[in-house]
Amino acid sequence: MHHHPSRRSVITAAAAGSVAVAGAAPAVAAGSGSALSSADRRRIRAIIQRMSLEEKVGQLFVMRIYGASATDPDPADVAANQAEIGVANAAELLATYHVGGIIYFAWAHNTQNPHQIADLSNGIQRAALSHGTPVPLLISTDQEQGAVARIGAPGTLFGGGMALGADGSTSDARTAARVIGTELAAMGVNQNYSPVSDVNINPANPVIGVRSFGADPTAVAALAAAQVKGYQSAGIASTAKHFPGHGDTGTDSHFSLPVITHSLEQWQTIDAPPFRAAIAAGIDSIMTAHLLVPALDDSGDPATLSYPILTGVLREQLGYDGVVVTDALDMAGVREKYGDDRVPVLALKAGVDQLLNPPLLPVAYQGVMDAVASGELTEERIEVSLERILALKFRKGLFRNPFVTHAGVDRVVGTRSHLATADRITERGITLLADDGGTLPLPRRSHRNLLVVGADPAAPSGTGGPPTGVLAKALTDLGHPATALSTGTAPSQAVIAQAVAAAAGKDAVVVCTYNVTSASPSQIALVTALAATSVPVVTVAIRNPYDIAYLPQVSASLATYGWTDVSMRAVARVIAGKARPAGRLPVAVPRADDPATPLYPIGYGLDY
């Protein structure tokens, strides 16, 4: 049993190498469509000349729409569309507002299964080509993997950003993105809001956490660049987010306006490298963050609305000329200071191209139209963004053929080889943090009878079930019969007593913990009560890896950085000795009593 401090330096060297290589292709460094021929440029100008102002403004918006079908959604979805947007369905949205993009969400019932998604995409593209000036759509979603995945099984799912950070391989990161991108493209989704390029140096971050690759800017930069190349090699647009960096905040921009207190120098060394690397890799789009960065702009405006940040830093200093998309405009962080009619105007004045998911599209759209009428925004300014958006659509081949087929879905989505790749890559991120007395792997002869207890966070759409159940089944399949008992994220005394009773006579208990802090006394009490029995206890942190700092000493502790089926099956293989724990911490785990001191440093991880 030993840990590998050397592994991190290998990653860092690889990181530096990959960034250098990425920068060697300045032809596409700006993500600016330099790959377009002059003939395509002329075609874009001709399209713009044919468009009305209404169409030009519409192209800048990316909108949600309820329903599984573009023309015939369920009555409840029609009602939701009427209430929020004033249209019945996607086809009507396109006829009315000529939006340039649609974003898919599971909660909007857009992503029920791969064939339905393909049909929805085709219906949306057909509608876009049948009204006014025919322009195909950018269809986007947040398919980050792990904690955020809008499309579930039978599509292929990976462990997420931090799981890839614990694996540490740029090759694996690129392969994962290529698999995800290929499947999205087959379903007609041509823009993924991924990779998360935030450097998560704040363990208390409530919104990024395991969505980030980790806390080492060099490693995050290398993995982000690798994923950009993977997605874009699959033919879809990749989006680095959330510029200028959402990694060091203790608040969530969905609900308030976070402040990043980094100095300019800290921003340059911590937050900027992944975005620089993504730009060098030819990134198609970059998403803004709704947060304040006084070192870059002390006006009190969020980055999404900041000319100094989006034009001064991103466009001028970093040399980026690709598409800039806002984070969702329905988030509180961008709405605190200005009305919903002003936010899109200020975003455009700051240097944004795509306006994502305004809460009230009629208000936002009219706000932009009014700003053009008053001269606050010129039609030329609208056309600058429009040209970037159309250039991206040309580069992705959407003007050649935006349609997909069921045969194409069947050929690539959730194939046996893709699923095997996801299992293999996710397994490499499983990290062993403690193993007192060589408890793991559990010997099959002596550990025939296991209990799995713990938290079951709501799993993303279409996965097989609660993590404790998936883990118990996987262990059973590997020759360690296991019973599952879900105790939730805040077990009562009665539930804890039930778990202790269920542990009696078992050969070991596996406890899934979820984001334990000093504010999780009941999860701590559960582990403490089980540790007081004579049964060996193995804890598995199924979201943030910091849990071990708050828990009593147990026989062994693992971190998975995610709770979806692919991560639960992977940790089962490690517990059963079918795979070795190859993961290394991509973030430091601080001590609970002294957060400035690491309990485990970046790069730590045991093996057996």
* Predicted local distance difference test score (pLDDT) of residue 464: 73
* Predicted local distance difference test score (pLDDT) of residue 131: 82
* Predicted local distance difference test score (pLDDT) of residue 460: 61
**What mean pLDDT is predicted for residues 159-172?**
98
Boundary of a domain, candidates 412, 439, 473: 412
* Predicted local distance difference test score (pLDDT) of residue 22: 32
Is the pLDDT at 185 greater than 50? The verdict is yes
Per-residue DSSP letter, 240: E
Query: Is 557 domain-assigned?
Result: yes
SS3 call for 292: strand
Is the pLDDT at 508 greater than 90? The verdict is yes
Residues 458 and 389 in one domain: no
CATH number reported for the structural domain that contains residue 562 in this entry: 3.40.50.1700
Active site annotation includes 254: yes
Residues 367 and 433 in one domain: no
Q: Which helix (H) or strand (E) covers residue 221, if one does?
A: helix 217-233
Instruction: Give 459's pLDDT tier (boundaries 50, 70, 90).
Output: low
Residues 178 and 262 in one domain: yes
SS3 call for 239: strand
Per-residue DSSP letter, 322: S
* Predicted local distance difference test score (pLDDT) of residue 251: 84
Question: Domain range for residue 148?
Answer: 6-412
* Predicted local distance difference test score (pLDDT) of residue 462: 55
Rg of the Cα atoms in the chain: 24
Instruction: Give 510's pLDDT tier (boundaries 50, 70, 90).
Output: very high
Query: Is 435 domain-assigned?
Result: yes
Query: Is 419 domain-assigned?
Result: no
Q: Using a pLDDT cut of 70, give the percent of the chain over it.
A: 94
* Predicted local distance difference test score (pLDDT) of residue 17: 33
Calpha distance 182→189 (Å, rounded): 10
Neighbouring residues of 291: CB distance < 8 A, sequence distance ≥ 6: 242, 246, 249, 253, 257, 258, 259, 260, 302, 303, 333
Is the pLDDT at 474 greater than 60? The verdict is yes
Residues 193 and 226 in one domain: yes
Q: Give Cα 429 distance to the centre of its chain.
A: 17
Is the pLDDT at 206 greater than 90? The verdict is no
Residues 404 and 457 in one domain: no
Residues 395 and 463 in one domain: no
Boundary of a domain, candidates 412, 447, 473: 412
Q: What is the pLDDT of residues 405-457, one digit of tens each?
A: 999 999 999 999 999 999 999 999 999 999 998 899 999 888 889 999 999 98
Query: Is 608 domain-assigned?
Result: no
Residues 396 and 429 in one domain: no
Give me the sign of the Cα torsion angle 291, 294, 299, 303: negative
The answer for 565, left when phi > 0, alpha when psi is -120 to 50, beta otherwise, is: alpha
Residues 241 and 309 in one domain: yes
Q: Using a pLDDT cut of 90, give the percent of the chain over it.
A: 87
> Which candidate in 131, 254, 370, 607 is catalytic?
254
Query: Is 487 domain-assigned?
Result: yes
Residues 389 and 430 in one domain: no
Is the pLDDT at 19 greater than 50? The verdict is no
Query: Is 387 domain-assigned?
Result: yes
Boundary of a domain, candidates 381, 412, 443: 412
Residues 401 and 487 in one domain: no
User: How many angstroms separate the Cα of 212 from the Cα of each of 50, 204, 529, 587, 589?
Assistant: 43, 13, 33, 10, 15
Query: Is 286 domain-assigned?
Result: yes
Residues 340 and 436 in one domain: no
Task: Tally the domains of the chain.
Answer: 2
* Predicted local distance difference test score (pLDDT) of residue 448: 87
CATH number reported for the structural domain that contains residue 167 in this entry: 3.20.20.300
* Predicted local distance difference test score (pLDDT) of residue 11: 34
> Which candidate in 297, 327, 341, 507 is catalytic?
327
Residues 267 and 193 in one domain: yes
Active site annotation includes 167: no
Residue 560 or 255, more confident:
560
Q: Which helix (H) or strand (E) covers residue 503, if one does?
A: helix 493-503
Instruction: Give 572's pLDDT tier (boundaries 50, 70, 90).
Output: very high
Q: What is the pLDDT of residues 335-388, one digit of tens each?
A: 988 999 999 999 999 999 999 999 999 999 999 999 999 999 999 999 999 999
Query: Is 606 domain-assigned?
Result: no
Is the pLDDT at 34 greater than 90? The verdict is no
Is the pLDDT at 25 greater than 90? The verdict is no
CB 251 within 8 A of CB 194: no
* Predicted local distance difference test score (pLDDT) of residue 252: 85
